[in-house]
Amino acid sequence: MLKKNEIESNQTIIDKAGNKIWNFFSSLKLIITVFLTLAVVSIIGTVIEQGKPPDFYTKEYGEKIAHYVLSIGFHDMYHSWWFLILLALLAANIIVCTIDRFPQKWETAIEKKYGAEPRFIKNLANSAHFTVSGDVHDIKIKVAERLKKKRYKIINADAADGASIYAWKGVIGRFGSDVTHVSLILILVGAIIGNFWGFRGYVSINENDAVNAPQADFKVRLDRFWIDYYNTGEVKQYNSLLTVIDNNKEILTKQIYVNEPLIYKGTWFYQSNYGVAYDRIREAQLILKNKKENKQIGEPFKVKWYEPFKIPGTNLTVNLVGFISDFGFDEKTKQIYARSLEHNNPAIAVVIYDGDKPISDSWLFLNYPDVFATIPNSDYNLTFMGYSGLYYTGLSVNNDPGTNIVWIGSILMTVGFIFAFMIFHKRIWVNIKRGENGVDIYMGGMINKNKILFEREFSELVESLKAKWEVGK
């Protein structure tokens, strides 16, 4: 078994080690170092684009620098282990400093020092002494009333040779820094939760289409996209009418625009951009021509997307089944593709039926109307004359489970600043004693901050009391 002195020695070592650890986390050097490091790496994180694939950094910075960027984690800095450690050190410093200082603040806040002697009062930063005539009890009541008018809380006590008053207000101001520290911890926690468990994404939706919301169990449909204009012709606002579909039910419909998102189940949908779809249209305008004379037959007609249209005066039906905004054809692979998202070479895919029998499946071109225009086994050509594009909307999607925590932290921080910079702990002691020439009133006070303000307030209080008893007149 360990001897008593050995146990005490081991306990001393543990205590010393604990004190060193505590002093480390509460040190000013630590917080300065962490702040400077966070400032430097934040600048680096701004300069180096985040979340790109490894090849991007090799092309951008060269193989050697890219190796260091990827090894250290500067490419995804805010998810790196060392950045999390920096935040943990910052949080630990805030917590330890708060715990270190809180007991003394609390003791000062709840302490009710009444019955102070004149010698104590005279040594205060703000003090006064004057003599009045009257009854000690009545004087005590009048002084207490004046303090209450100034919204002080008071405790008074009677003694054999006089009375005393202790007055205070603004105790909560002492805890402004503590509330701010708690708010910082909440903001850090919320940011970490959002950083690791939230997501940011993008989704584009064609009009009348619905897509699955990223990392969610519901769909979003674009009912309509439109642009509002000023009288001058300048764009006023881009609008999307969205409907949320959850469990096959339409839950809500909302018009969104810039800075007015749709919010559902913690997921935010912001208006980001828009365009005309490259792979789909609303309808195509076609004309039927006589094959021999290449003359138009009847009026132009419109065919809607995937809605078969029977051409008047014929047994032919046209179905619009495909669209490419910039048609391209790879001769090696024999594959059709879109060369770009621009509408440089629009082409539509149509299926033509003679009665119920499909007789043609071909592409028609806006810029080359005679190419593939012939309808097999018929006397007609079909010509692509124009189309009505289909808008799509681009939505920025954001789900941050830490947002509410950050908001609570931000509100608490505001409250903490109000406590710290607008509310001050003021204390006043009054000793009332019967003397040889009347009743002596000793008054003194102190404040935890803004001493100049308190000096003026204390002086006005003393002068108002002197005026009440016409002291000095």
Contact partners, residue 103, CB within 8 Å, separation at least 6: none
152 CB-near residues (< 8 Å, 6+ apart): 167, 168, 169, 426, 428
pLDDT at 7 exceeding the cut of 70: no
The DSSP secondary-structure symbol of 383 reads E
Which residue, among 186, 247, 82, 230, has the nearest Cα to 413 in the 3D structure?
186
Q: pLDDT at residue 6 above 60?
A: no
* For residue 268, pLDDT beyond 80: yes
- How far lies 248's CA from each of 47, 209, 220, 244, in Å? 45, 14, 11, 10
How do residues 126-178 score in pLDDT, each as one tens digit? Answer: 999 999 998 999 999 999 999 999 999 999 888 777 899 999 999 999 999 99
**Separation of alpha carbons 404 and 268, rounded Å:** 13
461 residue type, one letter: L
pLDDT of residue 153: 94
> pLDDT over 90 for what percent of the chain?
58
**List of domains in the chain:** 14-107 (no CATH), 120-170+424-468 (3.30.530.50), 181-277+394-414 (no CATH), 279-385 (no CATH)
Backbone dihedral angles phi then psi of residue 373, each to the nearest 5 degrees:
-80, -20
For residues 399-427, average pLDDT: 93
Q: How do residues 300-336 score in pLDDT, each as one tens digit?
A: 999 999 999 999 989 999 999 999 999 999 999 989 9
The whole model's pTM is what?
0.68
Angle of CA points 182, 168, 468, to nearest 5°: 150
472 pLDDT more than 70: no
Output the pLDDT for position 3: 53
Over range 60-78, report the average pLDDT.
88
Q: What is the mean pLDDT of residues 228-232?
A: 93
Band (pLDDT 50/70/90 cuts) for residue 112 is: confident
Structure confidence at residue 13 (pLDDT): 61
Q: Is the pLDDT of residue 4 over 70?
A: no
Sign of the four-CA dihedral 242, 243, 244, 245:
negative
- Name residue, tokens 């090894």: 71
pLDDT digits (tens, 9 = 90+) for 348-392: 999 999 999 999 999 999 999 988 888 888 889 999 999 999 999
pLDDT for 468: 85
Answer whether 278's CB lies under 8 Å from 271's CB: no
For 121, residues 6+ apart whose C-beta sits below 8 A from its C-beta are: 127, 429, 431, 442, 443, 444
269, 220 contact by CB (below 8 A)? yes
- Whether residue 80 has pLDDT greater than 80: yes
- Does the pLDDT value for residue 238 go beyond 90? yes
Per-residue confidence band for 5, with pLDDT thresholds at 50, 70 and 90? low
Give the closest residue to 379 by CA, choosing from 319, 295, 285, 301. 295
Q: What is the mean pLDDT of the chain?
A: 89
Helices (H) and strands (E) in the chain, counts: 10, 20
Q: Which two tokens stand for residue 267?
A: 């997921």
Q: Above 80 in pLDDT, residue 1? A: no
**Average pLDDT of the segment spanning 205-217:** 91
Q: Does 427 score more than 80 pLDDT?
A: yes
Other Cβ atoms less than 10 A from the Cβ of 63: the count is: 9
Going by pLDDT thresholds of 50, 70 and 90, the confidence category of residue 49 is confident
Pair type for strands 262-264 and 249-256: unpaired
- pLDDT mean over 221-243: 94
Task: Report the SS3 class of residue 70.
Answer: helix
pLDDT score, position 14: 62
Q: Can you give the pLDDT at residue 9?
A: 56
Specify the pLDDT at position 21: 84
- Residue partners of 306: CB distance under 8 A and separation at least 6: 319, 320, 321
CA distances from 394 to 254, 258, 448 (A): 16, 12, 55
pLDDT greater than 60 at residue 8 = no
